Chains A and B, each alone.
Chain A
Amino acid sequence: MTASRVSGETLRVALAGSPNTGKSTVFNSLTGLSQRVGNWPGKTVELKTGTHQRGDTVFSFVDLPGSYSLTANSPEEESARDYIIQDHPDVVAVVVDASSLERNLYLVCELLELGLPLVVVLNMIDVADGAGLRLDPQALQSALGVPVVPTVATRGEGIPELLDALQAVAFGETRPLAPPPPTSAAVQALVERLDGMIPPELAIPYPRRWALVKLLEGDRAIAGVMKKALSTNGWRGVDSFLLLHEDAILEIAGARYEWVAQTSRRVTHRLERENVPLGERADRILTHPVGGVLAFLGMVAAIFWAMFGLGTPVQKRLDEWLVQGSAERLESALEGTPDRLVSLLSDGVIGGAGLVLTFVPILAILFLALALLEDLGYMARAAFVMDRFMHRIGLRGKSFLPLFLGFGCNVPAILGSRIVESRSARLTTIVVAPLMPCAGRMVVVALFSAAFFGGAAALVSWSMVTINLAVLALMALLLSRFVFRGEESAFVMELPRYHAPNWRTVLMTTWQRVQAFVVLAGTAILAVSLVVWALSSFPGDRIQDSALGMIGRSLEPVGQLMGLDWQMIVALMTSFVAKENTIATLGVILGTGRGDADLNTQLTQVMAPAAAVAFIAVQMLFIPCVASVAAIRRETQSWRWTGFTIGYTLAISFAVGIIIYQVARLMGWGV
């Protein structure tokens, strides 16, 4: 996971903290561009690492996932907690939101109970100031018994002092005082009794006493560890004891919070303020049942405008320059080499993975907008206002955000589903995300509907989007009713205080997401592109004579039900590499140039409107593209769910295609 401690000069620092404390901003200020983003081993939890060098001391930071407590309520919290306890960082820095000290000190209290080398980062002092809260870091330091460093990470204030404190604690120059034991006598007694039930020699990877308290708090991960370590009978005894005392968590958490509230009151001075803070005024509109939805839809519209108004022209340029331009340059440069090789490079590599890359500008705009809204503190409000609607299809407000990303591209939708805590809701989100009409598919819809329906093109496109969303709602509902019955996830979410965005954090987040997409394009997507290229180039080198063409011909009977001949089926199959490939393939098969205008006329000659409608419906619902499939596999960590997604999209797309074609024919569009 991280390099082991090389010498006394490399300090391993774990950065802990609740969500919305400006932890990423602190991390960015500390590590700058040295960051690396990866995954926790065996988990779909993001792991960020980075270093900072000062003199001959190297600080190596691990940015732990945001957690509210050390009880594992989500995979993120479990990863964070296990790292702190099992990887023995030299020092733990816990980032605390000064404007919401009381809620934040809970985690600090839990960390103090562990007795680790700890530094408290009192961040967002400026936000607290704005909210009329004056804090006394010195008083907090003496109350907690560990160093407290006030910072405004957005402006880099306090970062050098933080490094000093980390170094001092790691080298043992500052010793933490004995932490306050906020456990009541009743809880102590329960811990003693539990202690008696578990053999003292039992080996578990946690401090024993701490684990006992966590058992009483009902921590499932620790219970799992204990269950494995104990004999069946031994565990049964412990289990029924815990069941009997399942209310102990109220007492334990209550005692901690009592201590926290006292401490926080002692160090906070509330200033009288006359006017309502801006954030509260904004919330009156932004969380309003009607106004909030309108505001949110307005923002969505603005993001779309930016994506397509600003991003699409750039994408087109890139397509001309990067994909077609370099393909041409390549062809002329490689004159004389075998055609197959030229085709491999220009169609397989550049035409496949390269084409996917041209979407980077559009994605970058989307990622930027989302990172901005997230950093402002708005995203939680969006989840709140949308919860009402999402609840109807068995999902919660949080799933709305990732699904919404799917309008741009399904890949960020799938990757973004990580913010959904419960496993069932997350899986549902991932599995239905490919039904979001992504930009790639909309390109095809736009081309076809313009070619066939002229003035009604917008209506046809709109209907296609509606069909997709309806199928999505239906799938989500079915999954939550039948597959994940009884696993409904709770909607409890903090609404962070609004604050001015930190551009560094916003840009860093955007950059990292773009980077992840580029990496995906360069690996999995490239590999599959090459396979599809091979299928379309062998044995005969024209697509008509290739394996793909043969498959298409053999599937023609199925296609006939939807009014599709083998060319259309092949086009559909190549859309697996990238949805917009459909157009290029048709261009090749129908023997047109690459210009859209030619293709338009060609299409209307070979297809009836009924078949065209069926075709775009099928292509909208068809198997997700290779990038999405790779992302689904990565996020679900399961081939079964990946296979399920491919299977159901295939089945539904054909079913809808057949229905639409048959109905449209009856309506007389078949000629």
Chain B
Amino acid sequence: MIDERSEQYLKAIGQMEEEGEQATTSSLARSLGVSMPSVTEMLQRLSAKGLVNHQRRGQVRLTEDGQRLASSLIRRHRLWEAFLVRFLGFSWDEVHEEACRLEHATSPGLEERLASFLRDLDTCPHGHAIPVRAGLRRAEPAVPLTKFPTPGPARVVRIQDETAQFLRRLTRLDISPGRVLQMEGISSTDGSVRVRSDGRSHHVPAKVAEQIMVQPAQTEDTPADRPVAMTELRPDETGIIADLSGGRNFVARCLALGCTPGTEVTMVRNSGRGSLIISVRGTRVALGRGEAEHLRVKRVTT
């Protein structure tokens, strides 16, 4: 078992890797608000446990084990945030602190239950992707609002600063993940950004704008190849299994029946409620509806 402080480090490195940034002793010291020597000391400990590779010039990478731990922590954090907002009526500026405490007290079993309970959610309230079980993924490509080419529509993808104060400020500016902002210009004097949302114009200071990650807004913003629950497939529609969850026994049974990731399945019967029948590897398999939701598939477009 590793302690909470080590977990904080792993999480911080994991988050940098998600963003495609190189974690270093100095960047860690900055993001965790600690001194460089204590970072070095901790990195040595983590490296001895086989969780990180500490390279020259202070560069740090997670090992495979480190990645698993980090992704699990990040996953718990974001699941809790999502849970608190959705079911306990917290506002998005209150949940980061709470989740920081809860993530360390969360067992793998609880994590799985949370994940399957919230399986329709892909991101936390701040727009960060909730990792799947397999591990860390590179975050959806996005740039800070300050670097967005003007003019044009920008969709807010995620918010980097999750402190309560900062988020309250965004609430006042009516900026949250998913919102489309019309970028109007960047001030040449102080770097502040002028955006228009819902017909109102706002000035966003540079310090704030650089924490808001955006993407060029497209007309359609749901990618066609995103995995959906098996229950979404209509009869005769074909999909490819992307991943399975729902407990060890269930996963093992599905695998033994041939539902391995990458396998093509065809929906035979799905009447919108009740159990369904799929055809996989030349065999017909009946699945309960709840069970089928644990199988995520990519639609095959014909």
Contact = CB atoms under 8 A, between A and B. Distances in A.
A254 B261 contact: yes
A247 B133 contact: yes
B271 interface: yes
Nearest to A486: B113
B253 to A, nearest CB: 5
A490 B261 contact: no
Main secondary structure on A side of the interface with B: helix
A68 B255 CA distance: 10
Contacts of A106: 256, 258
B281 A261 contact: yes
A494 interface: yes
Interface stretch (B20-28, B139-147, B285-293): B285-293
A73 interface: yes
A493 interface: yes
A102 B134 contact: no
A246 interface: yes
A546 to B, nearest CB: 53
Contact of A384 (B246, B258, B277): B277
Contacts of B261: 250, 254
Contact of A103 (B69, B108, B258, B291): B258
Given A106-B258, A254-B260, A100 B274 contact: no
Most chain B CB within 10 A, of A247, A380, A387, is at A247
A492 B134 contact: no
A492 B263 contact: no
A376 to B, nearest CB: 15
B285 to A, nearest CB: 6
A441 interface: no
B282 interface: yes
A245 B68 CA distance: 8
Contact of A495 (B243, B248, B262, B277): B277
Contact of A289 (B274, B280, B288): B274
Contact of B252 (A218, A380, A396): A218
Interface in B244-274: 244, 246-258, 260-263, 268-269, 271, 273-274
A71 interface: yes
Interface string A480-498: 0000000000111111000
Nearest to B285: A494
B123 interface: no
A202 interface: no
Given A101-B282, A387-B275, A492-B254, A250 B260 contact: yes
A492 B282 contact: no
Most chain A CB within 10 A, of B65, B248, B281, is at B281
A384 B250 contact: no
Contact of A217 (B252, B260, B271, B282): B252
B301 to A, nearest CB: 23
Contacts of A102: 258, 281-283
A287 B269 contact: yes
Interface string A362-404: 0000000000000000001001100110010000110000000
A493 B286 contact: yes
B207 interface: no
Interface in A217-254: 217-218, 220, 240, 243-247, 249-250, 253-254
Nearest to A186: B64
Contacts of B283: 100, 102-103, 494-495
A69 interface: yes
B86 interface: no
Main secondary structure on B side of the interface with A: mixed
Contacts of B101: none
B277 A490 contact: no
A257 interface: yes
Contacts of B133: 246-247
B274 A103 contact: no
A244 B255 CA distance: 19
A73 B291 contact: no
Given A68-B257, A101-B282, A287 B274 contact: no
Contacts of A491: 275, 286-288, 291
Contacts of A220: 248
B45 interface: no
Contacts of B288: 387, 391, 396, 490-492
Contacts of A73: 249, 252-253, 256
B169 interface: no
Contact of A244 (B65, B134, B252): B65
Interface in A598-638: none
B284 interface: yes
Nearest to A103: B283
A253 B281 CA distance: 14
Nearest to A289: B271
Contacts of A261: 281
Contact of A490 (B65, B134, B250, B262): B250
A261 B283 CA distance: 13
Nearest to B276: A384
B275 A384 contact: yes
Contact of B277 (A69, A249, A287, A391): A287
A250 B250 contact: no
Given A289-B271, A397-B275, A495-B285, A490 B253 contact: yes
A240 B68 CA distance: 12
A94 B244 CA distance: 29
A218 B285 CA distance: 23
B286 A249 contact: no
Given A254-B261, A380-B286, A384-B286, A249 B255 contact: yes
Contacts of B291: 490-492
A100 B258 CA distance: 11
A493 B108 CA distance: 27
A384 B284 CA distance: 12
Interface string A121-140: 00000000000000000000
A597 B275 CA distance: 50
A436 to B, nearest CB: 23
Interface in A144-196: none
B275 A247 contact: no
A247 B258 contact: no
A380 B282 CA distance: 17
B108 A243 contact: yes
B286 A244 contact: no
A293 to B, nearest CB: 10
A651 to B, nearest CB: 33
Nearest to B72: A244
Contacts of B277: 283, 287, 384, 495
Contacts of A217: 252
Contacts of B247: 490
Contact of B260 (A253, A388, A492): A253
A103 B257 contact: yes
Given A218-B252, A253-B260, A257-B263, A494 B244 contact: no
A395 to B, nearest CB: 12
Contacts of A250: 243-244, 251, 255, 260-261
Contacts of A247: 133-134
A106 to B, nearest CB: 6
A251 to B, nearest CB: 9
A380 B285 CA distance: 10
What 6 A-B pairs are tightest by C-beta distance, nearest first?
Answer: A491-B288, A253-B255, A388-B274, A69-B256, A495-B284, A68-B256
Given A73-B249, A100-B281, A218-B248, 6 more contacts: A100-B282, A250-B251, A387-B275, A388-B275, A492-B287, A494-B283
25 contacts: A69-B252, A73-B252, A73-B256, A100-B283, A102-B282, A103-B257, A103-B280, A218-B248, A218-B252, A244-B68, A246-B108, A247-B133, A257-B258, A287-B269, A287-B277, A289-B271, A289-B274, A380-B286, A383-B286, A387-B286, A397-B275, A492-B253, A494-B284, A494-B285, A495-B277
Interface of A: 68-69, 71, 73, 99-103, 106, 217-218, 220, 240, 243-247, 249-250, 253-254, 257, 261, 283, 287-289, 380, 383-384, 387-388, 391, 396-397, 490-495
